[in-house]
Amino acid sequence: MTPIFGVFDLNHQSYSQEYLQAMGHALKFGNSAITKIWNGPAVSLGYCDFQDREQAPALFTHQPSGVTVVADVFLDNRPEILAALSLSDGHDSQLIALAYLQWGSDFLAHLDGDFSFVLWDPNLCTLICARDRFGVRPLVYSFVPGKTLFIASHTAALLAMPEFKPTINEHFVAGILADLWESAEQSPFNEVLRLPPGHSLVIEQGGEPRLSCYWSPQQLPELNLPNDSDYSEKFSKLLLDATLRRTDPRVQVGVELSGGLDSPSVICAAQQ
């Protein structure tokens, strides 16, 4: 995973580089990494580049549109996206930007995998944040009305801001202690919200953040098959397809065995 962060100044002011470096430093969690930052007129995006591991570029700027993406991402449907865009190759952050340029506001429906990202469109003065369907990759944000939107993979980056004075969300903490964790948005701090799985957050220059759901299990059509053997065959096909999508030849693949039936089933599917 690649920690990412960003700042959007609604008054079109540049943000302190010292503070941006502090956000990146907070996301290193003691590891050796280089904080890399991209600065636009109103937006700054960054990520932690861990030098001791192989990772694709987390940041991409498309020329000449200027659309810029910083992403913590592993796309499972790379072949489909590459084919749709008539490309032979491209890293995942690049594919997110090109998917946006190709399909516009519907581009999230074409992304399948684990991701959280921030996309800046300078032509529309619009910032788009999104999180994958199951929330595998985290993304939190804090909005100061009329001023600034802060985004990061972890709350630690927001706590690094000198002007950020968080207060404890007692309702959230009480829910955790009572095992009544109900909200997908709340966090231990009142000023910090989590972007829920399958959701996007869109904000224009001078506007307010708009949260919307682009995917949920309830949107899937009900499956009705004639008999149990058909359900078994359908499940096997889905398991094989899901496993194949996640056994990327670019990286080494490992399976954590739990002692149950799920993880051995994944190994068997991968071997096929």
- SS3 assignment for 232-252: HHHHHHHHHHHHHHHCCCCCC
Q: Tell me the backbone φ, ψ of residue 71, rounded to 5 degrees.
A: -145, 140
Q: How confident is the model at residue 59 (pLDDT cuts 50, 70, 90)?
A: very high
What is the distance between the alpha carbons of residues 15 and 18, in angstroms, rounded to a whole number? 9
What is the distance between the alpha carbons of residues 252 and 254, in angstroms, rounded to a whole number? 7
Give the CA dihedral 88, 90, 94, 100, nearest 10 degrees.
20
Please give the share of the chain, as a percent, with pLDDT higher than 70. 97
- pLDDT of res. 168: 95
Q: How confident is the model at residue 54 (pLDDT cuts 50, 70, 90)?
A: low
* 12, 158 contact by CB (below 8 A): no
Contacts of 30 (CB under 8 A, 6+ apart): none
Residue 52 reports pLDDT greater than 70: no
pLDDT, one tens digit per residue, over 222-265 is 999 999 999 999 999 999 988 888 887 767 778 888 888 888 88
Mean pLDDT value of segment 165-181: 89
pTM for the full predicted model: 0.91
Q: How confident is the model at residue 133 (pLDDT cuts 50, 70, 90)?
A: very high
What is the distance between the alpha carbons of residues 50 and 176, in angstroms, rounded to a whole number? 33
CA distances from residue 115 to 41, 58, 139, 197, 263 in whole angstroms, order as listed: 26, 11, 9, 10, 22
- pLDDT of res. 179: 85
Q: Up-side HSE of residue 47: CA atoms within 13 Å toward CB? A: 23
Q: Which of 26-30, 53-57, 156-160, 203-207 has the least mean pLDDT?
A: 53-57
DSSP-derived 3-state class of residue 231: helix
Helices then strands, each counted (H, E), the chain: 7, 12
Q: Average pLDDT, whole number, for the chain?
A: 91
Residue 240 corresponds to which amino acid?
Answer: L
- pLDDT of res. 53: 62
Mean pLDDT value of segment 111-122: 97
What is the distance between the alpha carbons of residues 212 and 165, in angstroms, rounded to a whole number? 27
Mean pLDDT value of segment 89-107: 96
- pLDDT of res. 17: 92
Strands (E), the chain: 4-9, 33-39, 43-50, 59-61, 68-75, 113-121, 126-131, 140-144, 148-152, 193-194, 199-204, 210-213
What is the distance between the alpha carbons of residues 201 and 158, in angstroms, rounded to a whole number? 17
pLDDT, one tens digit per residue, over 181-232 is 778 899 999 999 999 999 999 999 889 999 999 999 888 889 999 999 999 9
Residue 268 reports pLDDT greater than 90: no
Contacts of 189 (CB under 8 A, 6+ apart): 155, 166, 167, 168, 169
Residue 49 reports pLDDT greater than 80: yes
- pLDDT of res. 136: 95
Q: Which of 39-48, 107-116, 211-220, 245-254 has the least mean pLDDT?
A: 245-254
Higher pLDDT, 65 or 181: 65
Residue 38 corresponds to which amino acid?
Answer: W
